[in-house]
A and B are shown apart, each in its own frame.
Chain A
Amino acid sequence: MKLLSLELLKLKKKTRSWLGPILVFWLIMIAYPLTIEVSSESMEIGFFSVLWISILLSMMFATEDIFTEDYNDGSLEQTLINETSFAYQVGAKVLIHWLLIGIPISILSFIFSLGTTGDMVLSFLILPFAIMSSYIFLNLFVLGNALSLNKGSVLGAIITLPLTLPILIVLGKSITAIQLDINYLGFIFLLLGSLSIIIVSVPLIVSYIIRAHLE
């Protein structure tokens, strides 16, 4: 708990780091209607694609400098020799990022979905998909940033984006299932299964990767 509050304090102090991705998401969602003819029918056509890609991009920005500062000031090395497991600390870092960035973005997704489609049920169903996908994307980009530590976030994005594409495919298919009123629960369980594997494995892998960087 102490670790979580410490991470929360660190992230809250860096306003740009948590507010920036939320604003990016907001701006993309506002920009979307400006690029097409404003009629509810045409708005709905590409809305969900834009929504998932906005979440993806926001999560990419959210993790841009997740380890950079700690790496540059040497505190990452100190964290490694700390008594608390490093994987646990990585997990806590990701969780705090998700709580401060992922959850607000998921709520905004619901609001934008309601505003665009006017369908309360559909918009409520979007919420679990947004919550889970944001956490999955966050974990994957943390992995990419750990791999490309001190080499810039572009490399991290290049190597991580292919891993996020299966999730985007599942998200796209789930929207089709919801709209056609066929079984969409399978997609929720699929994402939940992926998330549970990722939550456990990514912090462990990231801790090994960072060790490799600092050795």
Chain B
Amino acid sequence: MIKKFIHQFASPKTYLFQVERAYKLILYFSIAVYIGSLIWGLLFTQEDFVQGNSYRIIYLHVPASFLSQSLYMSMAVASFVYLVWRVKLAAYLVISIAPIGAMTTFIALTSGSIWGIPTWGTWWQWDARITSTLILFIMYLGLISLHSSFSNYERADKLLSWLVIVGAINIPIIKKSVDWWSTLHQPASITLTNKPAIDPSMLYPLLGSIIGFFGIIISLVIISSKYQILLREKNKSWIKEYV
């Protein structure tokens, strides 16, 4: 039954009709959650003892950094699914995620730089975390340029999937860079195994902003994948029914 469901949902047609109902709901709800968390974090939490008000950029920086890596991992999973089971939808998702991943990585880098000026006294430092995130950003751009250089979509999908899988090696490097090297960038404040090293008054709006940002990005991925499906399946008879 699960297999049947996956097969059905993996069809671009079913996916397109299913997400049509869901994505607007996700988008509006996520925007509300994100704005609510921002208001809570910016206006109703206290100043940080050391960093003053500058720490409040975490409500943008942390969700963007988290998503930049998560999106790449989801691309790697989708690439694997495409290469092994030849699920077309997975290939569409890979190329749909790439520009959004580049955008979130850019936001993470920019917001990190802005945060760096008051806290570190510099907007850029070639330390392991920042450099590996910059590598991730260049990787995203490389993936987009590789895909766009082929007119044969099927070939482009296959090559892109291989590169995404190979490039996934960068994700554990980014994640562990703060532990493996002595970096200016602080270690993770929220982990699954340890108690958060952040005050609850700051933690809850942060979690809210991560959830809200996550939802917004998911909605953008759905919109982007809808465009990919319409582009690739334009000659199918069911497209007229959809449009």
Residues of chain A having any CB pair with chain B under 8 Å: 143, 147-148, 151, 155, 158-159, 161-163, 165-166, 169, 173, 205, 208-209, 212-213, 215
Contacts and interface: CB of A to CB of B under 8 A. Distances in A.
B159 interface: yes
B174 to A, nearest CB: 10
A151 B150 CA distance: 8
Contacts of A163: 139, 166-167, 169-170
A186 B11 CA distance: 48
B145 A158 contact: yes
Which of the listed residues B141, B145, B181 has the most CB atoms from chain A within 10 Å of its own CB? Answer: B145
19 contacts: A143-B166, A155-B145, A155-B149, A158-B138, A158-B141, A158-B142, A159-B139, A159-B146, A159-B163, A162-B135, A162-B170, A163-B166, A163-B170, A169-B131, A173-B181, A209-B158, A209-B162, A212-B158, A212-B162
B138 A161 contact: yes
A166 B158 contact: no
B173 interface: yes
Contact of A147 (B128, B136, B139, B146): B146
Contacts of A208: 162
Contacts of A151: 149-150
Given A173-B181, A209-B159, A148 B131 contact: no
A165 B142 contact: no
A173 B135 CA distance: 18
A159 B162 contact: no
B111 interface: no
Contact of B142 (A143, A162, A212, A213): A162
Contacts of A161: 138
Nearest to A173: B181
Given A147-B163, A205-B162, A208-B162, A159 B142 contact: yes
A130 B124 CA distance: 29
A162 B158 contact: no
Nearest to A164: B135
Contacts of B150: 151
Contacts of B131: 165, 169
Interface string B117-160: 00000000000100110011011011101100110000100110
A148 B173 contact: no
Nearest to B126: A169
A205 B167 CA distance: 12
B190 to A, nearest CB: 25
A184 to B, nearest CB: 15
A70 B150 CA distance: 20
Contact of A166 (B143, B166, B173): B173
Among A143, A161, A165, A205, residue most surrounded by chain B Cβ atoms (within 10 Å): A165
Contacts of B135: 162, 165-166
Given A151-B149, A159-B143, A205 B138 contact: no
